[in-house]
A and B are shown apart, each in its own frame.
Chain A
Amino acid sequence: MSGRKGLWRVAGLPTTKAGVERAFSYFIAGVRLGTVAQMVPAVHIGVATSPYGVAYLASWAAAACAAVVVSVVTLVRRRPLGAAGSAADFALACFLLLLGSVLLEPGERLGTWVAYQPAYALSVIITDGGVRSRTLWAGGLLGVIVCYAVYLGGDARGDTTATAIGNVLTFVVYALVVRMFFGFTRRIAHDADASRARAAELARREEERRAQVMMHNGVALMRLLTEPGTDASRSRLIDQAEVELQRMRSYLRGQAPDRDGTTAYGAAGANLTVAFAAMIERVCDRFADLHVDALLDLGADLRLPATQAEALQRALESLLLNVRAHARADTVVVHLDQGTDGSWTLTVRDDGVGFDPASVTAGVGLREVVMGELRRRGLRVEIESAPNEGTTVTISSGSAPAAARATLDASTDAV
């Protein structure tokens, strides 16, 4: 029951193209049936005063029936009339106007509801304003105006000319306004639909990206585990794999990885801070086989929000996994620097084989886990690499670009 009620509630209609067309059908039915209701009280006077009472009644009934039919059809179709329906509607309005010039006495054609024809014609202009074809709409309007002029005939004498001109202007102005109303509302609905589709696509991509971010380090670890290695190295990999496993489980359970308490800082909550240098040290310890030189004294006091630290931890792990898997590096340096203004810079440098950033497409690790995730959190990420010259990744807080740059020009500010 509530569903049926909801079906007729304009406020409950969706703001989609279909919803807007349905709202138009309510509007059209309202205008047309309202016009019929206005015509009813004067019908008996018209029958009595018309020189052709029966014909007058027949034309009135035709107008009323047409209004009802148009209302029903639009409600059933859940959208305004099509081109053929509108053309027929305009044609009937014109015909009734022409017929009115015969059925009504000259003095009855202006300013009374006995002369229902102009009001009926106006209701047609208003309700057919949403027809798609501009030619049909303009032709219909022109036809009504011409027929209205014929309808008035010799009745447009001196004192009524102004009223007649006003009525014609009413036709024109209402036609334009309603046409704009239909067009603009349809554009809003179209844009809303496009925005919803875009939002859905973005949500899908975001979910895909989240999955990639969540799975990447785990997949890299599994690949390393499939390669031959010593018991010690496998033991380290298994320790890391357990951490990644927890993250993936959290993701599959639909929990935010940094809020569920299963990760290193999850229990800390979003408002707590983490000692960044200690976190880096723990990550570097897990990559003992790389002999990482962790120079963290300059940022020993730095504390970061737990969620940001979590993203940085994943990024650092991803970078070191890349070094382990691809770089063939002799040395790896992880350097943390905090400026006096609170800005900080983390530099991860390896002297491995490097790559050409212009010709190599960044993998999921660099593109999503490092650049995407960190930039999303307002951090700056720069990657410099060249074949056989190693790779330098510089991550910095956004507040101080000078401290964030890994160029030597920044040393003046930092030292």
Chain B
Amino acid sequence: MAVVDDASLIRESFGLLMPGLDVVAAVATVEELTRRRPVVDAVLLDLHLANLEQPDVRQGIAAIRALTSRGYRVCTYSQEERRFVLAACIAAGASGVVAKALPTGRAERLLIEVASGGTAVPQSVVGILEVLVRRNCITLLSERQRQILYGRARGLSYGQIAKQLFVSESTLRGYWLDLTRSLSDSLRSLTPSEIERALGLAPGDLLELWPEEATDAKDWWRVDTGK
């Protein structure tokens, strides 16, 4: 796993605090990581990378896009809690979104899951996805997918949902992985106005948060809150 975080203490201590992770690269910028091009299962990415020493570096959605376009699986690791920003990260291609506020052990489990090919979608984003499905912004063809999303949106564990659907937990995790990929793809195809309409937001509420295809500037990210 590679770590991209502007705080040197955090990026250097990952290997020590999370022994289950094999950190092969720990860098301060996405640009440096893409230059070194390490072979890793996933990149752990802090969303906010610009500071006085590196004011112009790529961060946020632009950083996610830069990494996913080079074939990396990305898991963000940030203090960001705004649900639409987190949803935007998933829409931009992140496989996981893990909050820095989580206990270390739980964060480590989620990071390993993403590195193993799984996903880590925060509850608030699952809620947004459920609303978009319910309001026909995203179409789910499979009845089973609907059932899984229904359970996950209510916070049920894989074990509980698997028991109710009479499938094994590993099978259900597979379903959930397929579902989150499908939902992320669908989310990416939506425009901010479509999402605003579905969620009952005011026009323009998402304009500055949502990654439209044309917006790839490295400084679009608003850093006035969240860190």
A interface vs B, CB < 8 Å?
A: 291, 293, 295, 297-298, 300, 330-333, 335, 347, 349-351, 389-390, 392, 406-412, 414-415
The answer to whether the Cβ of B130 comes within 8 Å of any Cβ in the partner chain is yes
10 nearest A-B pairs in the assembled complex, by CB-CB distance: A333-B155, A295-B127, A411-B150, A349-B155, A293-B123, A408-B147, A297-B131, A347-B154, A415-B146, A411-B147
- Give the Cβ gap from A68 to chain B, nearest Cβ, in Å: 83
Residue from A330, A406, A411 within 8 A of B103 (CB atoms): A330
Interface residues of A, dominant DSSP: mixed
Q: Is the CB of A331 within 8 A of B123?
A: yes
B101: nearest chain-A partner, CB-CB? A291
Given contacts A333-B154, A408-B147, contact A415 B133 (CB under 8 A): yes
* Contact of B153 with A by CB under 8 A: yes
Which stretch from B36-44, B60-68, B160-168, B174-182 is at the chain A interface? Answer: B160-168
B199 part of interface (Cβ distance < 8 Å): yes
Counting CB contacts under 8 A, is B106 at the interface? yes
Interface string of B122-135 (1 = CB under 8 A from A): 11101110110110
Residue pair A408, B200 in contact (C-beta under 8 Å):
no
Contact check, A297 vs B128: say whether CB atoms are below 8 A apart. Answer: yes
Known: A333-B123, A349-B154. 12 other contacts (CB 8 A): A293-B122, A293-B123, A295-B126, A297-B131, A330-B102, A333-B154, A335-B127, A335-B153, A350-B155, A408-B165, A415-B134, A415-B149
Known: A291-B101, A408-B147, A408-B165. A298 touches B157 (CB 8 A): no
**In the bound complex, what is the Cα–Cα distance between A411 and B193 (angstroms)?**
27
A335 x B157 contact (CB < 8 A):
no
Within 8 A of A (CB), among B87-129: 101-103, 106, 122-124, 126-128
Least CB distance from A343 to B in Å reads: 14
User: Would you give the shortest CB distance from B183 to chain A, in whole angstroms?
Assistant: 13
Say yes or no: B130 contacts A298, CB within 8 Å.
Answer: yes
Please, how many angstroms separate the alpha-carbon atoms of A409 and B166 in the complex?
12
Count chain B residues whose beta carbon lies closer than 8 angstroms to a beta carbon of A: 34
Q: Which residue of A lies closest to B198 (CB)?
A: A297
User: How far is the CB of B128 from the nearest CB of chain A, in Å?
Assistant: 7
Do B160 and A389 touch (CB < 8 A)? yes
Minimum distance in angstroms from A356 CB to a CB of chain B: 15
Which interface residue of A295, A347, A406 has the most chain B CB atoms within 10 A?
A: A295
Q: Would you call B223 an interface residue if the criterion is a C-beta within 8 Å of the partner chain's C-beta atoms?
A: no
List of A residues within 8 angstroms of B147 by Cβ: 408-409, 411-412
**Which residues of chain A come closer than 8 Å to B165, judged between CB atoms?**
408
Choose among B143, B148, B164 the residue that contacts A407 (Cβ–Cβ < 8 A): B164
8 A–B pairs (Cβ distance < 8 Å), ordered by A: A298-B134, A347-B154, A389-B157, A389-B160, A407-B164, A409-B147, A411-B149, A414-B134
Q: Does B156 contact A (CB under 8 A)?
A: yes
Residue of B nearest to A414 (CB): B150
Q: Does B159 sit at the interface, judged by CB under 8 A? A: yes
The complex places the Cα of A331 from the Cα of B98 at a distance, in Å, of 13
Q: Determine whether the beta carbon of B200 is less than 8 Å from that of A293.
A: no
Do B157 and A351 have beta carbons less than 8 Å apart? yes
Q: B102 and A295: CB pair below 8 A? A: no
Q: Is the CB of B200 within 8 A of A410?
A: no
Chain A nearest CB from B156 CB (Å) reads: 7
Closest Cβ of chain B: how far from A22's Cβ, in Å?
64
Q: Which of B128, B153, B164, B199 has the most CB of A within 10 A?
A: B153
A410, B143: Cα distance in complex, Å: 11
Question: Which residue in A295, A297, A390 is a CB contact (below 8 Å) of B123?
Answer: A295
In the complex, the answer to whether A298 meets B131 with C-beta atoms within 8 Å is: yes
Question: Which of B124, B146, B157 is A411 in contact with, Cβ under 8 Å?
Answer: B146
For A293, list chain B residues within 8 Å (CB): 122-124, 127, 155
**Is B151 located at the chain interface by the 8 A CB criterion?**
yes
A347 lies within 8 A of B151 (CB): no
- Chain A contacts of B160 at CB under 8 A? 389, 392
Residue ID in chain B nearest A406 by CB atoms: B154
Instruction: Tell me how far the C-beta of B114 lies from the nearest C-beta in chain A, rounded to whole angstroms.
Output: 17
Q: Which residues in A have their C-beta under 8 angstroms from that of B151?
A: 408, 411
Q: B161 contacts which chain A residues (CB < 8 A)?
A: 408
The answer to whether B143 touches A295, judged by C-beta atoms less than 8 angstroms apart, is no
Are the C-beta atoms of A331 and B146 separated by less than 8 Å?
no
- Which of B130, B134, B156 has the most CB atoms of chain A within a 10 A radius of its CB? B156
**In the bound complex, what is the Cα–Cα distance between A332 and B154 (angstroms)?**
10
